[in-house]
Structure 1
Amino acid sequence: MRYAKSWRRITASGVAALIVLAPVRGSAAGDSSADPFKRIACTAGAAPTAVPADPAFPTFPKLPGDLAAHPGIGWEGWYFVGHLCAGPHQFAYQVAFTVGKNTAETNIAVTDLNTGAFHQKWSSFPLDQVSASGSEIAVRMPTGSLTGTLDALSLRGVLPNADIDLGLRATGPALYFGGTGLIPLWGTTTYNIELPYFAAAGTLTLDGTKYPVTGTAWMDHQYFAGDFSKFKKWTWMAVTLDNGDRIALLDNYSTVDEDHAATVLHPDGRIEVAELVPLAEDAGAFWTSPVTGKRFPTRWVVRIPSIDTRLVVDARPRAQEIVRTSAASGVYEGAATATGTYRGRPARALVHVEMLGDWR
Structure 2
Amino acid sequence: MTTTRPTLIDAAEGLTPTSPDNTDSWWFCAKLQEEDRVFWVKIHTMTMQGVCHSTVALLEEGDGHHSGKYSAEAVADVKVSADSLHVQTSLLTVSGDLDQLELSGATDAASIRLTLRREAPVLYNGGGGVFPFFGGTTGQYALPGLTASGTVTIEGTTHHVSGRTWLDRQWVSGITQPPRFTWLGLDLGAGRYLSVWDSVGDGTSWLTQLTDDGSHLIAPARRTDHDGRWTLTVPALDASLEVSHQALSSAEGAYTGACHVTGTLAGEDITGHGFTDIIG
TM-score by length of 1: 0.74
Q: Which residue of 1 is the match for residue 265 of structure 2?
A: 342
Q: Report deviation, 1:128.
A: 1.4
Flag as ranges the 4+ runs of structure 1 deviating above 6 A.
none
1:302 pairs with one of 227, 232, 236: 232
The answer to whether the 8 Å contact 1:69/1:134 transfers is yes
Structure 1 position 231, deviation (Å): 2.6
- Of 288, 296, 313, the residue aligned with 2:243 is 313
| Separation of aligned partners in 2, 1:276 and 1:333 | 21
Q: Deviations over 1:43-94 (max 9, x none)?
A: xxxxxxxxx32x3354221121111111324211000011111111111111
* Equivalent residue for 1:215, pick from 163, 166, 169: 163
What's the counterpart of residue 162 of structure 1?
Answer: 110
Matched, 1:283 2:206: no
Q: Which has the higher strand share?
A: 2
**Which residue does 1:251 correspond to in 2?**
198
Matched, 1:230 2:172: no
Residue identity opposite 2:226 in structure 1: G
The aligned length equals: 279
Structure exhibiting the larger radius of gyration computed from Cα positions: 1
- Percent identity between matched residues is 27
**Are 1:271 and 2:182 an aligned pair?**
no
The residue that corresponds to 2:129 in the other structure is 181
**Aligned AA (2:250):** I
**Which gives a bigger RCO, structure 1 or 2 (Cα 8 Å, sep 6+)?**
1
Whether the 8 Å contact between 1:240 and 1:247 is mirrored in structure 2 is yes
Where do 5+ consecutive residues of structure 2 fail to align? none
User: Match for 1:265: what amino acid?
Assistant: L
Q: For structure 1, list consecutive stretches of 5 or more residues without a partner in the other structure.
A: 1-51, 286-297, 324-328
Distance 1:200 1:242 in 2: 15
Equivalent AA in structure 1 for residue 212 of structure 2: P
2:38 is equivalent to residue 90 of structure 1: yes
Shift of 1:224: 1.6
> Following the alignment from structure 1 to structure 2, what is the Cα–Cα distance between the partners of residues 57 and 216?
25
Contact 2:15 2:98 in 1 (8 A): no
2: CA distance between counterparts of 1:74 and 1:65?
16
Structure 1 residue 120 corresponds to structure 2 residue 68: yes
1:100 and 1:311 map into 2 onto residues whose CA distance is 35
- The structure-2 alpha-carbon separation of the partners of 1:232 and 1:70, relative to structure 1 and needing over 3 Å to count, comes to closer
Q: Distance in 2 between matches of 1:356 and 1:134?
A: 28
TM-score normalised by L of structure 2:
0.94
Q: Which deviations, in whole Å up to 9, do the C-alpha atoms of 1:293-320 show, x marking residues without a partner?
A: xxxxx4111111121101010114xx44
